[in-house]
Chain A
Amino acid sequence: MERRLQQLFFALSLFALVLILAAGWQANTPSWKTYQRSFLQIEAQGEPNAVTKAAVLATPPEIHQVLLSGLQRVDRCTTCHLGVEDPTMKNAPEPFRYHAGLGPHVPSRFGCTICHGGQGLATDKEGAHGNVAFWPNPLLSRDYIRASCGRCHKEGEVPGVPELTEGRHLFETQGCRGCHKLDGVGGSIGPDLTGEGANRRSPDWLERHFLAPNAVSTGSAMPNFHFTKEQARDLTYYMLSLTNEEMGSYFSSVRLIPSPEYGRQLFVEKDCLACHAVGGAGAKTAPDLLGVTKRHSIEWLDEQLVNPELVYPGSSMPEYDLEANARKALVAYMATATPEDVQLVLSRKTRTMTPEDVAIEAGKQDFARFGCVGCHGTELQGGVANPNAQGGEVPSLLHVSDDYTKDEVIAIIRNGRVPPMDNAAGPAPPLYMPAWKHVLSDEDINRIADYLWSKQEKNKDAW
C-alpha cells in the first residue's frame, strides 16, 4: 500500500510536469509566430546573398503593436499583417500585402481598428477579426469600410464618401431626432444613437432596418420612411460612423479635410473679401490674392495665417486662430480661386438676413430636424390619417393663428395634446402630439412658433 502510494505520488508529479510542459508548448506556439516565419521567408527571398538571408531568417519573433493611448486602443494587427507599410509587399499574399492608398493614415500612427474594426488586442486570426463571441466590433466588410472615415472627419465633406454627407443630411431633415438622441440632443422614444457604430449590429441589419423597421425588429415603433436603397445605405454609413470614442479630438489635427471646398467655406465665413480681392473682385485694402500661391511658398502662407505681424511687421491682418488643417484648406482654396467664383460669393453676400429671418430659418430647421414634418408635413399641410381624431387626420398648421394665440401654441408644443375624438366611445386616435419640453429648449420652441407664424401671414394675404 505505502509503496503503491509513493509510486502514485511520483506518477502524479511526473504528470504535473507533463502538464506544465504542455501548457508551455501551447503558449509557445501561437499562430502569429507561424505567420512571422512565412513573412521572413518572403523577405529573405529578396536578399542578394546567403549571409543577409540568414540574418533575416534569424529575426526573433515578436509582437508588433500600435499604442493609441488616448483612445485606450492597442492594435496588434501588424504582428501578422507585417507588410502593410512596405510597398515592396504590393504583390505578397495576405496577410502580408501592402496597404495602398492610405495617404497620411499610416498604420504606425493610426492603428488599424479605428477604420477596420476587429479586436486589436487579439493575436489570433478569429479573435483579431472579431467574429467571436463577446466582441462587439467584428471587421467591417469592404462595402462599408468608408463609413469609418466619418468617425474622425465629423465636419465638412469627406472626399470620396458622399454617403456620409447624405446620411448626415437625411438624419437632420427627416426628423430622426424627434425620437432618437444623438450627443445628448433629441427624443427618447427610440434608442440613443450616440454610440450606434460601436454596437454589435451588422451593417446589413442596419440597412434592412432602414428599409423596413418592423421586418428586422418586431414591434418597433419606428415608422417606415419608405427610404430608397441608396438612402438606406447613406443612413447606414452615418450610423456606422457614430462612436462614443473621441476619435476626432484624439487625432485633432485631422478632424477637417484640408479640401479647397472647406477652404472656400472658411473664406466666406471669415469674410476675407472685406479686405482682399481676387483678380480685382473684392476690396482693395489688402493685397489681391489671385496667384498668391505662386508668389509665396505654402510654408510662408501658413505662417502668414498664424501670425501676420511676424511675417509683415505692421500688418493690419488679424490673427484668426485657425487649426492646421483649416489653414491648409484656405491655402488650397486660394490656389484654385477665380474672380468669377469670388463674384458669386460677393453676390450672395449682399442678400443679408435680418435676425428675424435667422430665427424663422432656425425654426424651420428644428421643425424638420425633430420630426414635426413626420405628421404635420414638410409644408405644414398635415393630412396624415389619424382614425377617430377630429377630421380623421393630423391637422394642417397653415391656419393655426385663426384659432390660437402664439402663447397657446407654444404651450401645446411644450406640453403636448391628445386630439379631440370624433366618436367619444371609440378607440383613442393612434397619433397624438407629444410633450416637447424635455427634448427642445424654450428657445427652439419659440423659433418653431415664429416659423409657424411666418407661414400664417403669407397665407392670410392669399386668403
Chain B
Amino acid sequence: MNLIREIWQSIVRRDPLSTDKGKSELVFLNVWLHIHPAKVKKENLKFRHTFYLGFITFFLFLILLTTGIALMVYYRPYPPQAYQDMKDLQYVVFMGPFLRNMHRWAAHGMVICVFLHMCRVFYTGSYKKPRQFNWVIGVLLLLLTLGLSFTGYLLPWDQLAYWAITVGTNIGSYAPLVGGQVRELLLGGHSVGEGALLRFYVLHVAVLPSLMILLTIVHFWRVRKDGGLSRPVWKLKGKKEELVTIGAPAQTAALQAAAASKDKTYGLMEVVSGKPIFETVTPEEEEDTVFSYPYAFVREAVVLMATVTTIMTISLFLNAPLEELANPAKTPNPAKAPWYFLGLQELVSHSAFLGGVVAPALMVLLLLAIPYLDRNPSRNLADRKLILWLFTIFVVANLALIVVGTFFRGPGWALVPPWVHVVGGTE
C-alpha cells in the first residue's frame, strides 16, 4: 500500500485539487498543461468570444497526426502502388475506409477552421499590439495548413489528385523568373510523376508537419507571453486596454533599484520584469478570474470530443473520393485544383500573371503586414469601420471566387451553372 502511494506521489506531486494551491500546481507542475495560466479570465471562456476555433483547429491537427501516422503504415509513395494501396485501404484494411475518411475530412475541416479562426482574430482586433507577431505566425500556420493539404492531395495518385496538382503547380509556374524552377524543384521534373509523388510525400509527412508543430508551439507560447487571450470587445466599454510587455521600452518604467535585503534572495523573475507581463490586473478584475482547473479544461475537453465525434460521424457515412488511376494521357475537362485554390484558378483563367502571381503574392503580403499597417490602436468595432469593410470584402471575394470556380465552371472553364448537366464533357 505504501509502495503504491509512493509511486503515485513520485508521479503527481501537487496538493489535492480541493485546495487552490493544488489547482494551481496541477497547471504549472505539468509539462502539458503549463501552457495555460493557472487562472483565466471568465469572459475569455465564453464560447461566443472565440468559438474555440483555435482549439478546434489544433484538435483537428491532432486527429490528422494520429490518422496520418496510421495511414503511413499502409502507404508506398511510388506509382502505381500508391493507388493500389488506396484500394487496399478501401477494401481489405480493417477500418481502412474509416481511417482514410477521418484524415480526409479532418484535413478539409482544418483548412476551413484555420481560415475562420483568422477571421475571428481579425474581427476582434486581437492582432493589435502587443500581439502583432503572433498574427504573423498565425498567417504562416495558415500557409502551412494549405501546403499540407495540397501535398496530401497528390498522395492517392488518382485522376483527381494528379490533375489537381498539375493545375496547382502550373499556377505557381506563372511567377516571373523563378516560377518554372520552383515548379521543377517541387516536382523533381517537368511534369507530375514519380519524383513529384516522393517529394510531396516527404513534404507531407516530415517537413511540413515538423514546421507546423514548431510554429504551433511558438503560437501557443506567444498567446501566453503576449498577455493571454484578448479580452472580448464587449468588455472594453470604451476604455483602452492597457498592456505592458517586456521589450516594449516606451511603456516600461525604469526598474527601481530595490534595496538589497539580507533575508531575501532574488530570483531571475524579479530581475527581468518590474511589472507583470500580463494585461494589467486590477483588484476588481482579479475577481473576474477563475482557476483553469476545471473551468478551462472541461471546456477544452468538450470541444475536443465534439470535434472528434463530428469528424467520426462524417467519416462513418461519407467516403473520401477516389477516382481512376492517374493517367497523364487523359486530361479531365475541366481539370480543377483543390477547392481552396479554385479562387486562384478562377483568377488565373482571367489573367495568368495578375491572377496567378500578383494577386496571391499581394494577398499573403497584406495578410502578414496587417498588424503593422493598421496603426489604429482601438479594438472597438465602431472605430475600425474602414478596415472591417476592407477585410470583409477580401473574405467575401475569396469565397465568391471559390464558389464560382467550384460550382460554376464546366468543360473548357466555360461558365456553366451547376444545375445544367453537360453531356460528354470528358470524351
Q: Interface with A: B85-93, B356-364, B384-392, which one? A: B85-93
Kindly supply a per-residue 1/0 record for chain A positions 17-29, scoring 1 wherever the CB is within 8 Å of any chain B CB and 0 otherwise.
0011011101110
Identify whether the interface residues of B are mostly helix, strand, loop, or mixed.
helix
Kindly supply a per-residue 1/0 record for chain B positions 56-100, scoring 1 wherever the CB is within 8 Å of any chain A CB and 0 otherwise.
000000000000000000000000110010011011101111100
Q: Say yes or no: B315 contacts A23, CB within 8 Å.
A: yes
A137 CB to closest chain B CB (Å) equals 10
A125 CB to closest chain B CB (Å) equals 12
Q: Say yes or no: B301 contacts A16, CB within 8 Å.
A: no
Interface assignment of A5: CB less than 8 Å from any CB of chain B: yes
Which one of A12, A15, A72 has the highest number of Cβ atoms from chain B below 10 Å of its Cβ?
A12
Q: Say yes or no: A22 contacts B92, CB within 8 Å.
A: no
Interface assignment of B299: CB less than 8 Å from any CB of chain A: yes
Choose from A9, A15, A63 the contact partner of B92 (Cβ within 8 Å): A63
Kindly supply a per-residue 1/0 record for chain A positions 117-140, scoring 1 wherever the CB is within 8 Å of any chain B CB and 0 otherwise.
001011110010000011110000
Give every chain A residue within 8 A of B305 (Cβ-Cβ): 9, 12-13, 15-16
Interface assignment of A328: CB less than 8 Å from any CB of chain B: no
Kindly supply a per-residue 1/0 record for chain B positions 92-113, scoring 1 wherever the CB is within 8 Å of any chain A CB and 0 otherwise.
1011111000000000000000
Which one of B84, B87, B91 has the highest number of Cβ atoms from chain A below 10 Å of its Cβ?
B91
Give every chain B residue within 8 A of A9 (Cβ-Cβ): 298, 301-302, 305
Q: A23-B98, A27-B98, A123-B91 are in contact. Are A2 and B298 (CB under 8 A)?
A: yes
Task: Name which residue of chain A comes closest to B307, CB basis.
Answer: A12
A315 CB to closest chain B CB (Å) equals 49
Choose from A12, A22, A124, A135 the contact partner of B316 (Cβ within 8 Å): A22
Interface assignment of A74: CB less than 8 Å from any CB of chain B: yes
A355 CB to closest chain B CB (Å) equals 40
Q: Say yes or no: B324 contacts A136, CB within 8 Å.
A: yes
Kindly supply a per-residue 1/0 record for chain B positions 279-319, scoring 1 wherever the CB is within 8 Å of any chain A CB and 0 otherwise.
00000000000000011001101100110110011011000
Interface assignment of B277: CB less than 8 Å from any CB of chain A: no
Q: Say yes or no: A6 contacts B298, CB within 8 Å.
A: yes
Q: Say yes or no: B94 contacts A27, CB within 8 Å.
A: yes
Interface assignment of B323: CB less than 8 Å from any CB of chain A: yes
Interface assignment of B346: CB less than 8 Å from any CB of chain A: no
Q: A16-B309, A23-B95, A23-B98 are in contact. Are A134 and B87 (CB under 8 A)?
A: no
Interface assignment of A369: CB less than 8 Å from any CB of chain B: no
How many A residues, CB 8 Å from partner? 32
Task: Name which residue of chain A comes closest to B313, CB basis.
Answer: A19
Give every chain B residue within 8 A of A8 (Cβ-Cβ): 302
A374 CB to closest chain B CB (Å) equals 25
Give every chain A residue within 8 A of B322 (Cβ-Cβ): 134
Give every chain B residue within 8 A of A23 (Cβ-Cβ): 95, 98, 312, 315-316
Interface assignment of B158: CB less than 8 Å from any CB of chain A: yes
Q: Say yes or no: B312 contacts A16, CB within 8 Å.
A: yes
Kindly supply a per-residue 1/0 record for chain B positions 117-150, scoring 1 wherever the CB is within 8 Å of any chain A CB and 0 otherwise.
0000000000000000000000000000000000
Give every chain B residue within 8 A of A63 (Cβ-Cβ): 92
Q: A12-B305, A19-B309, A123-B92 are in contact. Are A74 and B98 (CB under 8 A)?
A: no
Kindly supply a per-residue 1/0 record for chain A positions 99-124, scoring 1 wherever the CB is within 8 Å of any chain B CB and 0 otherwise.
00000000000000000000101111
Q: Say yes or no: A12 contacts B302, CB within 8 Å.
A: yes
Task: Name which residue of chain B comes closest to A28, CB basis.
Answer: B94
Q: Say yes or no: A122 contacts B87, CB within 8 Å.
A: yes
Q: Say yes or no: B312 contacts A20, CB within 8 Å.
A: yes
Q: Say yes or no: A12 contacts B323, CB within 8 Å.
A: no
Q: Say yes or no: A121 contacts B91, CB within 8 Å.
A: yes
B313 CB to closest chain A CB (Å) equals 6
Q: Say yes or no: A72 contacts B313, CB within 8 Å.
A: no
Give every chain A residue within 8 A of B301 (Cβ-Cβ): 9
Q: Say yes or no: A124 contacts B91, CB within 8 Å.
A: yes
Bound Cα distance A121, B93 (Å): 12
Among B230-283, those with CB < 8 Å from A are: none
Give every chain A residue within 8 A of B81 (Cβ-Cβ): 72
Bound Cα distance A134, B302 (Å): 40
Q: Say yes or no: A24 contacts B95, CB within 8 Å.
A: yes
Q: Say yes or no: A12 contacts B309, CB within 8 Å.
A: yes
B99 CB to closest chain A CB (Å) equals 9
A306 CB to closest chain B CB (Å) equals 38
Interface assignment of A76: CB less than 8 Å from any CB of chain B: yes
Choose from A2, A20, A22, A76 the contact partner of B91 (Cβ within 8 Å): A76
A160 CB to closest chain B CB (Å) equals 32
Q: Say yes or no: B95 contacts A27, CB within 8 Å.
A: yes
Give every chain B residue within 8 A of A20 (Cβ-Cβ): 312
Give every chain A residue within 8 A of B302 (Cβ-Cβ): 5, 8-9, 12
Q: Say yes or no: A72 contacts B316, CB within 8 Å.
A: no
Q: Say yes or no: B298 contacts A135, CB within 8 Å.
A: no
Bound Cα distance A24, B97 (Å): 11
Give every chain A residue within 8 A of B324 (Cβ-Cβ): 134-136
B385 CB to closest chain A CB (Å) equals 36
B59 CB to closest chain A CB (Å) equals 12
Task: Name which residue of chain B comes closest to A22, CB basis.
Answer: B316
A-B contact pairs, 26 of them (CB 8 A): A2-B298, A5-B302, A6-B294, A9-B298, A9-B305, A12-B309, A16-B305, A19-B312, A23-B95, A23-B315, A26-B316, A27-B94, A27-B95, A27-B98, A72-B80, A72-B81, A121-B84, A121-B87, A121-B88, A121-B91, A122-B87, A122-B90, A123-B91, A127-B91, A133-B323, A134-B323
Listed in ascending order, the chain A residues whose CB lies under 8 Å from chain B are 2, 5-6, 8-9, 12-13, 15-16, 19-20, 22-24, 26-28, 63, 72, 74, 76, 119, 121-124, 127, 133-136, 217
Which 5 residue pairs of A and B lie closest in terms of their CB atoms, listed nearest first?
Answer: A12-B305, A121-B87, A19-B312, A23-B98, A27-B95
Task: Apart from A19-B313, A22-B316, list 16 A-B contacts with CB within 8 A.
Answer: A6-B294, A6-B298, A8-B302, A9-B301, A15-B309, A16-B305, A23-B98, A23-B312, A23-B315, A28-B94, A76-B92, A119-B87, A122-B87, A127-B91, A134-B322, A136-B324
Listed in ascending order, the chain B residues whose CB lies under 8 Å from chain A are 80-81, 84, 87-88, 90-92, 94-98, 158-159, 294-295, 298-299, 301-302, 305-306, 308-309, 312-313, 315-316, 322-324, 427
